[in-house]
Amino acid sequence: MAARLRKAGLPYALLIPGLGWLAIFFAIPLLYMLFESLKQGTIDTGFIFNWEFSNYTNALSDFSEQFLRSFEYAGLATLFALIIGYPLAYVIAFRGGRWRNALLLAVIVPFFVTYLIRTLSWETILSDSGFVSDTLRTVGVLSEGGRLLDTTFSVVAGITYNFLPFMILPLYASLERIDPRMLEAGYDLYGRRRDVFLRVTLPLSMPGVVAGTLLTFIPAAGDFINAELLGTPNQYMIGNVIQSRYLEVADYPTAAALSFILMALMLAIVVLWARVAGTEALLGTERERR
């Protein structure tokens, strides 16, 4: 009996290290940040906890533009990453052959370089005197005084590049799991490659699409490095505001409130997307397999 009880309690005992890690490095800091977000005062006079819920309403009204811009940039970057990443993942999964591992390595290689260095590289690539800008001016795409750097384009391009692997890898994993016999049956039923893709390949790969969009959109919405280095204050996202409020203005209650608002909005978007796209995609995939 005692051995049976020990065996039944073993899975819960294995959870203790992970739960302890989450409690120390996530739950406790989160509660402390919640405590800070309800304070009032300044760095000079000190901060006093007095249930200052107006920090949330003021933060939302004062920085609504940055919130909207963050979601706009993150949405565009996610869309472009999907447009670029799906064909790449498709080619690697179905046409990679003996080069598949090398192609996957090429997708992961940018992670070997620090995020900051990759973004600074884009600053050099898109500079006014860089090869890209000079070429576009030569062919007439960019006007003589036109710029690529410090624009919405440069910020979205930087975000797309930095988070593209987060889109490609889930898509590849989903596509690679498709049974070739399903595709053969699809060709027997529909004949044309386009119909097979739309009726078989795309529905079966939807779990990868859902996972890739979430893995790309969530960190992109909170990013501030790309807007800081590749944009101007006109392109600043909510991450830039939070960073400034914490490290420059020292307005900790507003920064904490902004962080909680961002987390709440992101959670709502994730739940909505998982309900609309994720659940239906998974159910549709299961029905197709049956």
261: which 2 tokens? 């608002």
pLDDT in tens, 153-171: 999 999 999 999 999 999 9
**Across 241-257, average pLDDT:** 93
pLDDT at 288: 46
* One-letter amino acid for residue 26 of the chain: F
pLDDT at 287: 47
Residue 65 confidence (pLDDT) above 70: yes
pLDDT-derived band at 283 (thresholds 50, 70, 90) equals very low
Residue 253 confidence (pLDDT) above 90: yes
Q: How would you label 116-134 residue by residue, b for 16+ Cβ within 10 Å and e otherwise?
A: eebbeebbebbbeeeeebe
Residue 220: closest CA among 156, 138, 281, 151:
156
pLDDT-derived band at 110 (thresholds 50, 70, 90) equals confident
Q: Using the 8-state DSSP alphabet, how is residue 97 labeled?
A: G
pLDDT-derived band at 130 (thresholds 50, 70, 90) equals confident
Residue 285 confidence (pLDDT) above 70: no
Instruction: Give alpha helix (H) positions in 38-151.
Output: 54-62, 64-95, 100-108, 115-125, 131-138
pLDDT at 284: 47
**In DSSP terms, which residues pair with 48 in a beta bridge?**
40
Q: Locate the domains of the chain by residue range.
A: 64-289
**Across 168-181, average pLDDT:** 91
Higher pLDDT, 89 or 3: 89
Q: Of 197-201, 236-240, 285-289, which range is least confident? A: 285-289
105, 92 Cβ separation under 8 angstroms: no
Q: What is the rounded CA–CA span in Å between residue 266 and residue 218? A: 7
Q: What is the rounded CA–CA span in Å between residue 173 and residue 78? A: 18
Q: What is the rounded CA–CA span in Å between residue 185 and residue 290? A: 13
Residue 281 confidence (pLDDT) above 70: no
C-alpha dihedral, 255 to 256 to 257 to 263, nearest 10°: 110
pTM comes to 0.87
70, 239 Cβ separation under 8 angstroms: yes
Residue 265: closest CA among 70, 76, 79:
70
pLDDT at 279: 53
Classified as helix, coil or strand, 149 is: coil
The class (CATH top level) of 64-289 is mainly alpha
Looking up tokens 């020292």 gives: 250
47, 39 Cβ separation under 8 angstroms: yes
